[in-house]
Amino acid sequence: MTEGAFHEYRERAGACPDCGNSPVNHFESYCSHTLSVWISAFSGSGVSPVARASRFLARIVEPFIFRSLAALPMTAFSRDPSRAVTYRSQVVWEEAARRGIDMEQVIFFGKPTELYRARLDGAWRYFQSLPLFSSVDAAVDWVDDKFRLKVELARAGIPAPRALSVASESAAQRALDTIGTPVVVKPREGSRGRHTTVNVRTRAQMTEAFRSAQQLCRYVVIERYLSGSVCRGTVVGGTLSGFFQAQPPKVVGDGTSTVRALIAQQNASKPERVGDIVLSSEHERFLARLGYTADSVLPLGTVVSLTHRTGRLFGGRTRELLGSEHKKLRAYLERAAKLLGSPVVGFDLIIPDPEQDPDLQEWGIIEANSLPYIDLHYLPLEGEPSIVARDVWDFVEAHPELL
């Protein structure tokens, strides 16, 4: 397969509208995310003793567990990249094949998993989706903590929206008064915008948003709402490797048509690779917070976003612009990656114009992902794809001491 020729990959929506197109088990997520926040609370600015101990044990125990797993009769291995559970894993697998690296997927009880192995330095090395191994000890253990991240970024002089962490509905209401409206409400840990509510302005909206977010984590983050493009900057080995800009689905008023009619017009004229905008309860709640309904007639020229979710799958637009982002913005992201110590990290940020001086705009990093979906950089509607998996394997091969 040549660079730029990638398989199309689409996720499917689940039963929970607040999870979007990447549903998770609420109970399992609540337990794992809450536990992760507790562990994060024990750490200083670096790596906590708990994390150091767990990583030390992982280096000892994991090889034994994986060898035992491989020997079980219900375990099989696949060499077919099309069976990858996520497109993130698929692009990593395809890049490994281009390099002649043996890579296999663990099949357990006949079901493909997100556990893989690659033969490196004469031995099988196991990993989840991205070849990041447990021996990478420099990374802080609060990368995925959306509140702690903002605190540490602010201390380092890296822009992030003001945020508070709460665990009760009454505290959430007080946070609304403290930060001021509008705010964003989200689980303190988690990804893919699951159970996130933006543009919250009233106490009733806060109650609904808080209860949704707390389904995935005991702790909920209330943060200042930022306006602008939602971007993803992926840093590999300290260097920005991909920069992706995404827009939510929007409609533009013509003075006579309802929001519902404008959506139908847009669906009829959209590019082939852009998904239809399908009105749901999430869209209706989002519009209500803006003061509209699906039957509202928008004034001529009025632009209205329909959801906080961005990208082609939701009817939005995407653009890869690595190399066009402002040099100061690149420097901020690379400095943030150094602060976190993670060899691969994806930063989500909101900024009005990533190609202009960030110091002259209100912007901020809103999340970091220690296991980022690098495939976001592969199928943009506009711009040249960034081959992030190539940089990931370059880093792995250049640092055999981390295996």
pLDDT in tens, 155-212: 999 999 999 999 999 999 999 999 999 999 999 998 888 999 999 999 999 999 999 9
Nearest to 107 by CA among 86, 76, 74: 76
278: in domain? yes
Which pair of tokens denotes residue 174?
């007080």
Nearest to 186 by CA among 20, 374, 317, 38: 20
Which range, of 47-61, 205-219, 309-323, 384-398, averages the lowest pLDDT?
A: 47-61
pLDDT at 255: 95
159: in domain? no
- Collapse the DSSP code of 314 into the 3-class scheme (helix H, G, I; strand E, B; otherwise coil) and give the result: helix
Co-location of 396 and 264 in the same domain: no
Co-location of 327 and 257 in the same domain: no
- Collapse the DSSP code of 394 into the 3-class scheme (helix H, G, I; strand E, B; otherwise coil) and give the result: helix
Co-location of 303 and 325 in the same domain: no
Instruction: Find the mean pLDDT for residues 114-136.
Output: 85
270: in domain? yes
At residue 124's C-alpha, the angle toward residues 123 and 126, to 5°, is 140
> Is residue 205 a contact partner of residue 29, using CB atoms and an 8 Å limit?
no
**Percentage of the chain lying above the pLDDT 90 cut:** 71
344 versus 2: the higher-pLDDT residue is: 344
pLDDT at 92: 97
Is residue 91 over pLDDT 90?
Answer: yes
Q: pLDDT, tens digit, for every residue of 236-295?
A: 999 999 999 999 999 999 999 999 999 999 999 998 889 999 998 889 999 999 999 999
pLDDT at 33: 92
Confidence of residue 401 (pLDDT cuts 50, 70, 90): confident
Q: pLDDT, tens digit, for every residue of 21-67?
A: 778 899 999 999 998 888 777 665 555 555 555 555 556 666 677 77
Which range, of 15-19, 145-149, 222-226, 302-306, averages the lowest pLDDT?
A: 15-19
265: in domain? yes
Co-location of 239 and 101 in the same domain: no
If phi > 0 it is left, if psi is from -120 to 50 it is alpha, else beta; for residue 180 that is left
Co-location of 389 and 274 in the same domain: no
202-212 burial code (b ≥16 CB/10 A, e <16): eeebbebbbeb
Structural domain containing residue 300: 250-307
Which pair of tokens denotes residue 309?
């979710």
The whole model's pTM is what? Answer: 0.87
Nearest to 18 by CA among 208, 248, 247: 208
259: in domain? yes
110: in domain? yes
Cβ-based neighbours of 177, under 8 Å, separated by 6 or more: none
Co-location of 350 and 263 in the same domain: no
Query: Whole-angstrom Cα distance, residue 18 to residue 214?
Result: 12
Which pair of tokens denotes residue 40?
């994060």
Nearest to 393 by CA among 84, 100, 6: 100
pLDDT at 4: 38
Per the prediction, the chain carries an average pLDDT of: 88
17 versus 294: the higher-pLDDT residue is: 294
Q: How many domains does the chain divide into? A: 3
List strands edge to edge, sheet with 123-128.
75-78, 103-108, 111-120, 123-128
pLDDT at 335: 97
> Is residue 262 a contact partner of residue 249, using CB atoms and an 8 Å limit?
no
- Collapse the DSSP code of 330 into the 3-class scheme (helix H, G, I; strand E, B; otherwise coil) and give the result: helix
Is residue 342 over pLDDT 60?
Answer: yes
Which pair of tokens denotes residue 114?
């997100």
Confidence of residue 8 (pLDDT cuts 50, 70, 90): very low
Co-location of 235 and 354 in the same domain: yes
Co-location of 128 and 266 in the same domain: no
CA-CA-CA-CA torsion for 313, 348, 351, 387, nearest 10 degrees?
Answer: -70
Among 138, 168, 199, where does a domain finish? 138
186: in domain? no
Query: Whole-angstrom Cα distance, residue 389 to residue 382?
Result: 20
Is residue 2 over pLDDT 50?
Answer: no
Nearest to 382 by CA among 307, 312, 277, 323: 312
Co-location of 282 and 385 in the same domain: no
Give the H/E segment covering residue 176: helix 169-179
pLDDT at 144: 87
Distances (CA, A) of 296 to 8, 80, 130, 279: 36, 50, 45, 14
Helix ranges, 293-387 (H): 327-340
pLDDT at 72: 82
At residue 345's C-alpha, the angle toward residues 127 and 239, to 5°, is 115
Cβ-based neighbours of 106, under 8 Å, separated by 6 or more: 69, 70, 75, 77, 113, 115, 116, 117, 126
